[in-house]
């Protein structure tokens, strides 16, 4: 008797969400009950951001589907519409049993919309979290269009229940990137430095993303950030921002770092290689979620700039800074003198196994496609 495999499509739009989905992809593709497909779009397809579609292909996965969805940083709505059109075509051809999306990007929203409107189960990874920017609007919207939730901690589960999601549809598995972070198989620092031609004996990591709701000020913020790291008199590995509205201002400022002996600037870095660099960094500065989620696992001092992560669960030692150059420099000075306690807020590194265990239960696949809103308490 031939086993009929359930088809799962993982949707990835950025280097970051691929890193978080990778362990879930690996464990399901190696299981006899599942046929795994990967839909690659978004920043992966942009040469300016490293064309990381090739990094996905290098993993040796079968069933990779690619689609270029980019329009312009000022037309995110059109990019969303284009992604829906491209992903819908793949879904109609594959007829998957489950679509897996991650986080708070427009690609995840497109995946959830296509699934919901085609009566396909949608699983959302890392819903129920807050950040205070437009990303949070997208994340909560994706959750409402998803049938199954795989969240990073109990607080996220509670928020989804507060939003009307059924408790039995929410599974706490931790953050999947921790699976890779705690892996003994990360590349050595020597290998990473050689691959990326980084010859700094010590270094910081700088990552600064646009805040779309503060677009009018992003040019000024980018100037202050770059001037701060220039004046801090440290060596830095700098990684491009995401391609949200305002990224052009940051990229323009990064031109000031070209050919500077204290900076190595990259459009993208392989996720495992990035983790090795982070694990061995002196500090991290910017407004990336990596400073909130990954760095605390390694005990790396973090200067968190501005509002992008303001509502996240924060490590108690994270140094919060405003956008002004002098504030950032002061934060870097304090961070360089600090010792951070390692902290575990997002799981123990076994998200992949918990994810698989859930998918092996019949109740996950029997979730009603017609979602029900769970009223916690009706007001009089």
Instruction: Give the tens place of pLDDT for each residue, 280-327.
Output: 999 999 999 898 888 888 989 999 999 887 666 566 678 999 999 999
Can you give the pLDDT at residue 2?
Answer: 55
CATH of the domain at 94: 3.40.50.2000
Are residues 155 and 196 both part of a single domain? no
Closest CA to 209 of 106, 323, 320: 323
Can you give the pLDDT at residue 365?
Answer: 95
Instruction: Find the domain containing 248 and state its range.
Output: 189-336
Pairing of strands 204-207, 236-239: parallel
The predicted-structure confidence for 260-287, as pLDDT tens digits, reads as follows: 999 999 999 999 999 999 999 999 999 9
Establish if 379 belongs to a structural domain: no
Strands (E), the chain: 6-12, 34-40, 64-66, 98-102, 121-125, 148-151, 170-172, 204-207, 236-239, 263-266, 283-286, 302-305, 319-321
Are residues 228 and 202 both part of a single domain? yes
What integer best gives the mean pLDDT of the chain?
A: 92
Establish if 373 belongs to a structural domain: no
Are residues 224 and 177 both part of a single domain? no
Establish if 342 belongs to a structural domain: no
Kindly state the percentage of the chain with pLDDT values over 90.
78
Establish if 156 belongs to a structural domain: yes
Establish if 36 belongs to a structural domain: yes
Are residues 156 and 292 both part of a single domain? no
Are residues 104 and 210 both part of a single domain? no
Are residues 213 and 310 both part of a single domain? yes
Establish if 327 belongs to a structural domain: yes
Domain boundary among the residues 336, 357, 374 is at 336
Regions in the chain scoring below 50 on pLDDT: 1, 380
Are residues 88 and 114 both part of a single domain? yes
Distance CA 115, CA 137 (A): 19
Are residues 22 and 121 both part of a single domain? yes
Q: What is the pTM (predicted TM-score) of this model?
A: 0.88
Establish if 213 belongs to a structural domain: yes
Are residues 162 and 253 both part of a single domain? no
Can you give the pLDDT at residue 341?
Answer: 74
Establish if 214 belongs to a structural domain: yes
């Amino acid at each position: 008797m031939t086993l009929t495999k359930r088809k799962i499509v993982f949707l990835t739009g950025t280097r970051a969400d691929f890193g978080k989905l990778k362990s879930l992809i690996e464990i399901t593709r190696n299981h006899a009950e599942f046929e795994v497909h990967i839909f690659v779009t978004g920043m992966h397809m942009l040469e300016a951001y490293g064309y990381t579609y090739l990094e996905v292909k290098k993993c040796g996965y079968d069933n990779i589907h690619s689609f270029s969805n980019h329009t312009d940083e000022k037309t995110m709505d059109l990019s969303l519409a284009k992604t829906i059109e491209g992903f819908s075509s793949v879904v109609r051809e594959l007829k998957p049993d489950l679509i897996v999306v991650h986080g708070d990007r427009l690609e995840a929203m497109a995946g959830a919309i296509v699934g919901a409107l085609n009566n396909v189960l949608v699983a959302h990874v890392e819903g129920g979290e807050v950040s205070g920017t437009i990303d949070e609007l997208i994340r909560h919207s994706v959750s409402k269009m998803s049938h199954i939730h795989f969240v990073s901690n109990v607080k996220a589960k509670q928020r989804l229940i507060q939003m009307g999601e059924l408790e039995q549809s929410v599974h706490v598995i931790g953050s999947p990137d921790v699976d890779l972070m705690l892996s003994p198989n990360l590349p050595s620092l020597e290998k990473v430095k050689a691959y990326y031609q980084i010859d700094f004996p010590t270094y910081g990591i700088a990552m600064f993303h646009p805040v779309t709701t503060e677009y009018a000020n992003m040019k000024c913020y980018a100037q202050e950030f770059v001037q701060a790291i220039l004046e801090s008199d440290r060596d830095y590995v700098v990684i491009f921002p995401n391609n949200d509205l305002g990224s052009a201002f940051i990229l323009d400022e990064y031109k000031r770092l070209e050919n500077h002996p204290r900076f190595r600037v990259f459009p993208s870095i392989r996720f495992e290689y990035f983790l090795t660099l982070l694990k061995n960094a002196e500090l991290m500065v910017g407004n990336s979620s990596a400073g909130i989620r990954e760095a605390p696992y390694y005990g790396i001092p973090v200067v968190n700039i501005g509002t992008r992560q303001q509502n996240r669960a924060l490590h108690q030692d994270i140094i919060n800074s405003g956008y002004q150059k002098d504030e950032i420099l002061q934060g870097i000075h304090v961070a360089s003198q600090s010792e951070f306690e390692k902290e575990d807020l997002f799981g123990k590194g076994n998200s992949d196994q918990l994810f698989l265990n859930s998918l092996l239960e019949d109740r996950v696949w029997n979730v009603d496609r017609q979602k029900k809103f769970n009223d916690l308490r009706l007001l009089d």
